[in-house]
Chains A and B, each alone.
Chain A
């Protein structure tokens, strides 16, 4: 990749930046306007139990047998000393019971409070023993059925292999991969140009989802407008982050290890800031019931198709930007060799600022769409997918944008296809396991070059 010719005049990043932003916005507008999402009025987050040093939570989500939330059901927890505390399921079926002591609680569902026509499955196990430690939460799951006295065996259902399920899981995998790729490309560009692995990148994704919720549901703006504003604000956070934090720290000469720990600190601060303002509960960006489309037996929501479409468009645009524009070439030159790029007249600081802006904007967009597709956003969203993004970026080869795309698709597929052979608990673990295996045999990733691993 020898890109930057000598004697180039300083690259004009501003015009390309405006152009890129404009195309991104247009693509967004075009794809979203083909749809009319019914975004309801303000939907405030429910006040859920939050753990701290003196409180533990027993919690769960109760769904009717058709998968819709079961509301208004009473669940009570009896402490070892005999006092009983109860909680009632909210509009999304969630219940949480705050308890103030360690120990084993007996959790019981009040069958009289169930909606008519719904019965507790596996009635014999209604009294659950749940062990609780202050400062953490414990969960238990009650299952409902339409027949009284039903027994549901969870070990035998859902693991039968069929091509139908394979296709469905592969489609979900493609969807997850495309949405991860939006965030992964940004992380990869930042790594490529600065050498920094940002642990706060996951929180940029969460920020996107939460901002979209704020604009669409709390303030009642149309979803499309909310998404555009979210991407702009997300991009702005990237710009100002570089101006206020990363650029001064680069000038101060901090080592990459130190910078990485700074991003860990930033990530902790942001996670708790999200909890501070939005609470610990999951908020849903659009509360209308999503419509589904069936293509050849694969059922996905309309939002999923739109989200996949948008991310393909944005990924293609990012690729064209890197390959065809002057600024894109300059970005790759900085990735390749910052000193040489600077010597050939490229304003390295300006490129890095642009990269931070794009990375944060793309992460924000990814957050909006993950929130729509996964039926909700909470403060942990970024925390949960950060390692998947790292896995994607490392698989593809650290610092290569194209590799990040391929890596994301592979990781998305692995995560969803794991469900076919292993229980759902293992889907993220498998992706991380494969990451470790790849690092053992090909540490530079699929598209990385040998020299990058030291």
Chain B
């Protein structure tokens, strides 16, 4: 019984962790690309990494916090333009190759030794060099607060403040997507996803709408990157291809083209993985499966889950199969 209680507690702690919030925000951004506009962006991790770099480096150079966020957003905007302008006229699978390649270039350049002064090379940037201004914004009094089994510092590096801001942003962006999906702009995006030529024949500039979607989703991705690195540090290798694929898994699990799908998917992604890992570590003897192997086993199941989801339930948990057409 104690085991079940402690397992339940650690699962809920994982569900509300800042990393989960960052993943949810990244998935909301990706949802605008993939779910609404049908853009196959498999370089979402690059938006996160650029956002994180922009924020961390600007803060290190003494830019105030909102200026640093602005720097992150401008960098993500430029990246979206560079990525989108030449490729959005091409077929979808070309966009896929270009986005994944561009994301790898960003990561490789970021971790290269000649940029050590700027990006810290492959070691990245430590959290305490940029998280102080964020913590200083906190209106909470110092000390710790315990709600049920959630026991954190009010302000600290990984405390209540980052959780409140992270999940607050999740709520704000969800609301934004809800509003957009009901707007003429959102309906047009869905139209492009379903039948580009039909939308074009109505006299709409498809290319321009796709670019707007790419930019909006990318900016949200940059914010996700900031939330992702605030409690830890900027690690270029921690925001590589695998991250993009996990964001896809979360999005498809919850349901692409829905409002709450990305949020539900991100929470379930982390909770299910931790559950599998904990159960495997507890109940499978370590001679058969070591604790490292239990972690790897949980990721094998993530891969298998992604395959099964897209084959048997491409609309995810919350989605509507009729609405989601994979057009490419």
Task: List the interface of chain A (C-beta within 8 A of B).
Answer: 50, 52-53, 102, 104, 130-131, 133-140, 197, 249, 252, 254-258, 260-262, 264-273, 275-276, 383, 387, 390-391, 394, 423, 425-426, 428-429, 432-433, 435-436, 439-440, 443, 453-454
**Is the pair A268, B112 in contact by a Cβ cutoff of 8 Å?**
no
Chain B: number of interface residues, binned into ranges? 35 or more
**Is the pair B91, A432 in contact by a Cβ cutoff of 8 Å?**
no
- Name which residue of chain B comes closest to A394, CB basis: B97
Q: A52-B292, A268-B242, A276-B297 are in contact. Are A257 and B101 (CB under 8 A)?
A: no
- Fill in one digit per residue for B119-154: 1 if any A CB lies within 8 Å of its CB, else 0: 010111111000000000000000000000000000
Binding site secondary structure of chain B: helix
Q: Which residues of A contact B233 (CB under 8 A)?
A: 102, 131, 133
Q: Which residues of B contact A439 (CB under 8 A)?
A: 86-87, 90, 94, 97-98
Task: List the interface of chain B (C-beta within 8 A of A).
Answer: 40, 42, 86-87, 90-94, 96-98, 100-102, 104-105, 108-109, 111-114, 120, 122-127, 232-233, 235, 237-238, 241-242, 245, 248-249, 252, 274, 291-293, 295-297, 299-311, 314, 325-328
Q: A439-B94, A439-B98 are in contact. Are A265 and B104 (CB under 8 A)?
A: no
**Is the pair B302, A254 in contact by a Cβ cutoff of 8 Å?**
no
A443–B271 Cα gap in the complex (Å)?
42
A133–B52 Cα gap in the complex (Å)?
15
- 18 residue pairs of the A-B complex, CB under 8 angstroms, read A50-B292, A53-B295, A102-B232, A131-B124, A258-B326, A261-B248, A261-B252, A261-B310, A265-B306, A271-B303, A272-B299, A273-B296, A387-B104, A390-B97, A391-B101, A425-B114, A429-B104, A454-B90
- Name which residue of chain B comes closest to A429, CB basis: B108
A392–B174 Cα gap in the complex (Å)?
40
Q: Which residues of B contact A266 (CB under 8 A)?
A: 303, 307
A103–B110 Cα gap in the complex (Å)?
20
Q: Which residues of A contact B327 (CB under 8 A)?
A: 255, 257
**Is the pair B300, A276 in contact by a Cβ cutoff of 8 Å?**
yes
Q: A139-B122, A429-B104 are in contact. Are A440 and B303 (CB under 8 A)?
A: no
Most buried by B among A52, A133, A262, A267: A133
Q: A255-B328, A429-B108, A443-B90 are in contact. Are A268 and B302 (CB under 8 A)?
A: yes
Most buried by A among B98, B120, B125, B301: B98
Q: A258-B314, A273-B300, A425-B113 are in contact. Are A436 and B91 (CB under 8 A)?
A: no
Interface residue from A272, A387, A440 paired with B86 (Cβ < 8 Å) = A440
Q: A133-B233, A423-B113, A426-B108 are in contact. Are A265 and B93 (CB under 8 A)?
A: no
Binding site secondary structure of chain A: helix
Q: Which residues of B contact A137 (CB under 8 A)?
A: 237
**Is the pair A428, B104 in contact by a Cβ cutoff of 8 Å?**
yes
- Nearest 7 CB-CB pairs, A to B? A269-B303, A265-B306, A268-B303, A425-B112, A265-B307, A272-B299, A255-B326
- Name which residue of chain B comes closest to A279, CB basis: B292
Q: Which residues of B contact A134 (CB under 8 A)?
A: 232
B110 CB to closest chain A CB (Å) equals 10
Q: Which residues of A contact B104 (CB under 8 A)?
A: 387, 428-429, 432
**Is the pair A264, B248 in contact by a Cβ cutoff of 8 Å?**
yes
Q: Which residues of B contact A426 (CB under 8 A)?
A: 108-109, 112
Known contacts A102-B127, A423-B113, A439-B90; can you find 16 more A-B pairs with CB under 8 A?
A: A53-B295, A133-B235, A197-B97, A256-B93, A262-B310, A264-B306, A266-B303, A268-B302, A276-B297, A387-B100, A425-B111, A425-B114, A428-B104, A432-B104, A435-B98, A436-B102
B268 CB to closest chain A CB (Å) equals 16
**Is the pair B303, A436 in contact by a Cβ cutoff of 8 Å?**
no
A133–B158 Cα gap in the complex (Å)?
13
Interface residue from B92, B122, B311 paired with A254 (Cβ < 8 Å) = B311
Q: Which residues of B contact A428 (CB under 8 A)?
A: 104, 108
